[in-house]
Every structure is written in C-alpha cells, then in structure tokens.
Structure 1
Amino acid sequence: MSNCFVMKCGGSTLAALPKLFFDDLKRLQAEGIIPVIVHGGGPAISDTLGKLGIESEFVNGLRKTNEAVLDVVEMVLAGQINKEIVRKIQLSGAKALGLSGVDGHLIEAAPVANAHEIGLVGDVTQVNAELVQGIVAMGYIPVIAPVGIGADGGQRYNINADTAAGAVASHLGVERMIVVTDVPGIMKTVDGEKRVLPSVTVREIDEMIASGEIYGGMIPKVRAAVQCIQGKVREVVIVNGAEPEVLSRALKDGGIGTRIVKE
C-alpha cells in the first residue's frame, strides 16, 4: 500500500497532542496519504483497573491478563481511547473509523509462548489487510485498538500495541513506521551537549543501553520502537508529536526525529 503508512502512538501521548498534529493528519489525507493508526493505552487501563479494585501486574513488560483484566483492557482501548482519537481526528475535518482487532477478524492472535505466566496475552498470527485496505479506499483513517481474536473467533487476547503495530505494518507491506512520542528522538551527549541522533541501528541501540547512554524512561520507548521492526518493516522513525508538521516531515525525510534501521 504505497499511499499508506502505519503510525503507532500511546493513548496518553495522542490525547495530549496539539491541534496542529491533527491538522497535519488532515492535510496528508487530503493529499491521498492515509495513516493507519495503532494506539495503546496502558496508563488509562491501569487507572481504570485501580478504580475497579482489580489487581494487575506486569511480567517482563507485559500485563498479566485474565478475563476480568481483559474486559477492562477492551473497554478502555476499544471504547474510551479509540473513540477519543476518532473524535479528535474528525474535529480537524478528516475522516476516521475506529475499530479493534476483534472487528472483522482484523487482528488474529494465538497465546504467547509464556501464556502460563501472563495469561490471555496474544502474539499476532494474521492481519486482515483487505479490511484495512477497504477502509482506506473509502477515504477513512483506520484507528485500531490492539485487542486480538483467536482464529476460531471465541477467545480475545490482549496484544502489546507495539507488537500489533509492527504486525499491521508488515502485513500491509509497509517498510516504514512512525512512532509518535513525547520526546524528539534518541538523544546522545556529544561534547557535553545532548543531541538527537538522526539514525541508529538496532545493534547500536543495544550497545547504548548496555553502556548507559540510553537510560531511564527512554529505554522502554526505544525497545518498543525496535519491537515494531518485524517482517517487511525495515525502518521506524521516533518523533515528537508536538513538532510542527511532524508526520509530513518524517515521511519526506525532513531531518526530524531518529530513524531506527535493521542493519
């Protein structure tokens, strides 16, 4: 799909983005370049679980998920956050359609290898690319919540948003993904001054984490971006969504953010 790109964004990040970001989305759509948005929503899920008194824990960065937790995951992701994003896009004058991976078997999943430890968390086995292509052909921006469905249609799965975004991009045949965050890219101190690295390989990221050059809250952001590099996806661009015309500039190699490449 040469007229598409996949964009991954956390739910809290997207909710905080300025109107200019959504104006940029509208401009791209008017030019025939359609983003396919895959969003997360971890903090909002944790907040709702807390309000409902449902205990939740993480195992190696993934939320341990039983049926009670999954009900909340689906309610928050496919309901609250998904529709908030759709409303913001439509307020800009663009057209959006929100759905989850359950709808139309959009994202089929199977239990992760360590399901005995973390429960109903899924790995993506198939993406209904034709459904996404149909939505795009009608002129709508697909906004996808990462809840998956088993091949038999009976079991739902909680899917990590970065894993889901990478799988959607790969099945659509997209080579580049944009990860929208609240940081300008991967920073490195050069001559006592912090600068954004324009490009970095996956191996260099591992080395920078080991050496402590990438630290703290940046580690999960970078690792999440690396997770998106799978299948046909060869490049992920980390950008700050608050930058003017950020998506247009990232797509046109406008010297913004950090490009993470496989090799």
Structure 2
Amino acid sequence: MTTFKSTQPIARKRMVIKLGGSMLEGLDDSFFSKFKQLQDAGNDLIIVHGGGIAINQQLAKNGVTSTVVSGIRVTSKEAVGIVQSTLVGQVNPALVHQLNKGGIDAIGLSGYDGNLLTCTLLDEELYGSVGHIEHVRAELLETFLVAGLVPVIACIGATDDGEPLNINADTVASEVALAIKADSLLLVTDTPGIKIKEEVQRVVTPFKIAQWIGTGEIYGGMLPKVKAALDSLGAGIPTVQIVGQQLEGTAIKSEGVFA
C-alpha cells in the first residue's frame, strides 16, 4: 500500500510596505489589487504610511509653516497636532477603507494604540516634536497577523506624557520590519527607485549609496529612505527595495551578495 506524507503548510513570509504620503492620493483600485495578490501568494503584510500632501494642505489651511531638514519634517508644537489629526483622522481611515474595498481585511493603528511605538524625542532643538523609536511592540502586530488582519500604521508616536510625536515614515517601516523579523521591506514612493543621472538603478550596494550621498546625487527625501533601507539590510532583513507604484524599482543588496 502506498502512503503519502502529510503536506506541511508552507510558511508565510512577512512583508512590510511603506507608502509615501506624496503618492497616496493618486492610487487606484489596480494598485491595491497588487496587495491582494501579494497576500494570496503567501505574504503577511504590514503597511506603514505617511501623509505629506494632506499634511501640507492642512498646515497651509491653518497658517502653520513647516520646513524639512535631511528629509525629516521639522514639527513645531502647533504643527504636530495638525499632523496627528491629519494622519489618524483622515489619511489612515481612507487607506484602510481602500484596502478593505480591495478585499483585504485591514485595521488602522498609530503609535498610541496598544503602546505600539515607544518613543523619545529625536532632537528637539533641531526637529521639534519628532520622535525616535525606542521600542516596537511586536507581539501586538503578531496578534493581528495571526488573525489574518493587515495592520495599517500611521506614523505618530508619543512621549511618556502622551504628547504626540511625528515620526518619519521610512524610519517607522524600518523599525517595524526589524521588530517582526520581516522577510522583506518595500519602500513605495512616487519615484520608481534610486535615480542617478535620471536613470533608475536596478541593483545597488551600500558602498555605491555612500558614494552617491557623498557626491550629492542622493539627497533630500531620498536620504531617510536609503538610511532606513541600509539599517534594515544591516540588521538582517533579507530583501530591501525602493520601488514605485508598479512595485518595481531599486533592490539594495549587501556587497557579499556580489562576491
């Protein structure tokens, strides 16, 4: 008699996807269907988002000025309340709705929820109310993933006293990916990867990135993206990519891969 071994379930992979705030308003149903395809292919997803355009609009509406230093928004006490209400009250529920509409069971979160993000001030003199993540409560995210839910995280944390802190979305995505030991990190932007001399670089190394930062060819908003990518890669995340809306772009690999 022929017997067969029982088929072992294939282990699902974990993917953290960061959506840049500058591109959120232009996304259509076909974009969100890609997330469903990733999920159906065996990936547990966590989505982290910013809200640049919506935040800029609300700041302007309220007559509050804001600057950016090295890709990080300088956030005054007055501005951080607007950032918080915009991300948590507008951008996050709209994104959760689009995901739910696309057949993905999503749940909106911020750093406040279940003490998800424990933070301190990054550099109050330079950046104002901007947070540095000390700890990510990975077990909370584990609970949602096991339940088949997709956590959608708005980049707001808090001090021990409950004061809101704005956090760079690339940083949140990187820290979350490290905390849950993700298999891959995708930083989705309105630019399809790292561009040098107007040409997208398909595969790059940390060494080349350091060179381009030194020559000023990587600058502005791309700086925190490559830093988050390099930190994640260095800490053991196997795959880190900076991609556009088609989820294609630049793969960042350690030099050892090319040896």
- TM-score (norm. length: structure 1): 0.82
Alignment of 1:20 with 2:30, yes or no, is yes
Distance of 1:59 and 1:91 partners within structure 2: 36
Distance of 2:103 and 2:118 partners within structure 1: 32
For 2:182, the aligned partner's letter is V
Q: CA deviation at 1:208?
A: 2.7
Structural RMSD (CA): 2.2
3-state DSSP class of the match of 1:258?
strand
Alignment of 1:260 with 2:258, yes or no, is no
Identity %: 37
Residue correspondence of structure 1 range 166-205 to structure 2 within 5 A: 166-188=174-196, 195-205=199-209
The structure that has the greater radius of gyration is 2
Distance of 1:223 and 1:234 partners within structure 2: 21
In structure 1, the partner of 2:62 is: 52
In structure 2, the partner of 1:148 is: 157
Distance of 1:128 and 1:111 partners within structure 2: 18
Alignment of 1:37 with 2:47, yes or no, is yes
2:16·2:47 contact (CA, 8 Å) conserved in 1?
yes
3-state DSSP class of the match of 2:220?
helix
In structure 1, the partner of 2:140 is: 131
1:166·1:227 contact (CA, 8 Å) conserved in 2?
no
For 1:4, the aligned partner's letter is R
One of 122, 126, 134 as aligned partner of 1:117: 126
**140-149 or 203-212, which moves further after superposition?**
203-212
In structure 2, the partner of 1:250 is: none
In structure 2, the partner of 1:238 is: 242
Distance of 2:54 and 2:111 partners within structure 1: 19
Distance of 1:91 and 1:224 partners within structure 2: 31
CA gap 1:73/1:209 in 2 versus in 1, 3 angstroms: same
**76-85 or 29-38, which moves further after superposition?**
29-38
Alignment of 1:107 with 2:99, yes or no, is no
**1:193-243 CA deviation, whole Å, 9 max, x = no partner?**
x6532211122023234446x36xxx33532322223233354212221x2
**1:33-78 CA deviation, whole Å, 9 max, x = no partner?**
1211111112221210110112323344322223321111111111
CA gap 1:225/1:2 in 2 versus in 1, 3 angstroms: farther
- TM-score (norm. length: structure 2): 0.84
**Size of the alignment, in residue pairs?**
241
Distance of 2:222 and 2:252 partners within structure 1: 9
1:109·1:122 contact (CA, 8 Å) conserved in 2?
yes
Q: CA deviation at 1:169?
A: 0.6
Q: CA deviation at 1:149?
A: 2.2
3-state DSSP class of the match of 1:123?
strand
3-state DSSP class of the match of 1:12?
coil
Q: Which runs of 5+ in 1 are unaligned?
A: 247-255
3-state DSSP class of the match of 1:220?
coil
2:170·2:228 contact (CA, 8 Å) conserved in 1?
yes
Distance of 2:69 and 2:226 partners within structure 1: 19
